[in-house]
Amino acid sequence: MNKSALILIAVFFTLSAQAQYHFDLYSVPDSAAVFINGDETCTTPCRVKFYWKDNVDGKIIFTVKAPGRETWSDTLFEKPFRFDFQKTAILKHEVSKLKLDSITPVIGFDKLITEFEEGTKIGTFQKSKKEIQTLKWINSYKIGDDSFTQKFYDVLSEQGFQTPFNGKIVLFKNDQDKIRLPRYLVGAKITEFKLQLEKTKDLEGDHQIKGFTVMGVDWKVLDKKTNKVVLTYSNKNMLHYRLSHYNRYPDNSLVFEEALYEFLRNSEFYELVNSSEVSIDYAMIGDSASNIQRAITIPTIPEFEKLSDMIKYANPACVTIITDGGFGSGVVINSEGYVLSAYHVVESVNQIDVKFSNGLTLNADIIAYDYANDIVLLDINGSGFPALPVSIGTEVPLGEEVITIGTPASIDLGQSIAKGLISGKRLIEDRVYLQADIAVSPGNSGGPLLNAQGEIIGIVQSKIVTEGVEGIGFALPMEKALEMLNLRVKVE
Radius of gyration of the chain from its Cα atoms, rounded to whole angstroms: 34
In a domain, 319, yes or no: yes
Query: In whole angstroms, what is the distance from residue 92 CA to residue 65 CA?
Result: 10
Residues 328 and 454 in one domain: yes
pLDDT tens, residue order, the chain (492 aa): 565 555 554 544 555 556 889 888 888 888 899 999 999 999 998 899 999 998 999 999 999 999 888 899 999 999 888 888 888 888 888 766 566 665 678 898 988 888 888 889 999 988 888 889 998 887 544 555 677 888 899 888 888 888 887 644 444 444 444 556 788 999 999 999 999 988 888 777 677 788 889 999 999 999 887 888 999 999 999 988 887 665 656 778 888 988 999 999 888 998 888 877 665 444 343 344 456 788 888 898 999 999 999 999 999 999 999 988 889 999 999 999 999 999 989 887 888 999 999 999 999 999 998 888 889 999 999 899 999 999 987 888 888 999 999 887 777 777 888 899 998 888 877 788 888 888 777 778 899 999 999 999 999 986 554 444 456 888 999 999 999 999 988 776
Residues 74 and 112 in one domain: no
Residue 411, SS3 per DSSP? coil
Domain total of the chain: 3
Can you give the CATH number for the domain in which 175 is found? 3.30.160
With both helix axes pointing from N to C terminus, report the angle between 267-275 and 252-265 in degrees, rounded to the nearest 10: 70
In a domain, 212, yes or no: yes
Residues 180 and 225 in one domain: yes
Sign of CA dihedral 417, 420, 422, 426: negative
Q: For residue 273, count other CB atoms closer than 10 A to its CB.
A: 21
Residues 432 and 368 in one domain: yes
Q: Considering 36, 62, 90, which residue would you say is the last residue of a domain? A: 90
Distances (CA, A) of 355 to 101, 203, 224, 330, 368: 34, 70, 19, 10, 20
Can you give the CATH number for the domain in which 85 is found? 2.60.40
DSSP β-ladder status, 416-428 and 352-355: unpaired
pTM of the model: 0.62
Residues 142 and 269 in one domain: yes
Residues 86 and 213 in one domain: no
CB 280, CB 369: distance < 8 Å = yes
In a domain, 98, yes or no: no
In a domain, 389, yes or no: yes
Residues 334 and 389 in one domain: yes
Residues 175 and 42 in one domain: no
Distances (CA, A) of 183 to 228, 308, 339: 11, 42, 23
Domain range for residue 394? Answer: 294-491
Q: What is the model's pLDDT at position 311?
A: 94
Nearest residue to 449 via CA among 400, 393, 394: 400
The phi-psi region of residue 227 (left if phi > 0; otherwise alpha if psi is between -120 and 50; otherwise beta) is left
Query: In whole angstroms, what is the distance from residue 90 CA to residue 309 CA?
Result: 75
Q: Considering 35, 63, 90, which residue would you say is the last residue of a domain? A: 90
Q: What is the model's pLDDT at position 285?
A: 36
Residues 298 and 444 in one domain: yes
**DSSP calls for 288-343:** SPPSS-EEEEEPP----SSHHHHHHHHGGGEEEEEETTEEEEEEE-STT-EEEE-H
Q: What is the model's pLDDT at position 386?
A: 95
CB 135, CB 125: distance < 8 Å = yes
Identify the burial level of 338 via C-beta atoms within 10 angstroms of its C-beta, where 0-12 means exposed, 13-18 middle and 19 or more buried.
buried
**Which helix H or strand E contains 272, and what residues bound it?**
helix 267-275
Burial track 396-417 (b if 16+ CB lie within 10 A, e otherwise): beeebebbbbbbbeeeeeebeb
Residues 117 and 80 in one domain: no
Can you give the CATH number for the domain in which 423 is found? 2.40.10.120
**DSSP calls for 190-226:** EEEEEEEEEEEE-TTS-EEEEEEEEEEEEEEEEETTT
Q: What is the model's pLDDT at position 147?
A: 79
Residues 261 and 313 in one domain: no
Distances (CA, A) of 82 to 19, 23, 78, 79: 11, 10, 12, 9
In a domain, 100, yes or no: no
Name residues whose C-beta falls within 8 Å of residue 15's C-beta, 6 or more positions apart in sequence. Answer: none
Q: What is the model's pLDDT at position 356?
A: 94
In a domain, 289, yes or no: no
Backbone φ and ψ for 195, nearest 5 degrees, come out as -135, 130
Residues 57 and 119 in one domain: no
CB 215, CB 143: distance < 8 Å = no
Q: Considering 220, 243, 278, which residue would you say is the last residue of a domain? A: 278
In a domain, 102, yes or no: no
CB 273, CB 263: distance < 8 Å = no
In a domain, 55, yes or no: yes
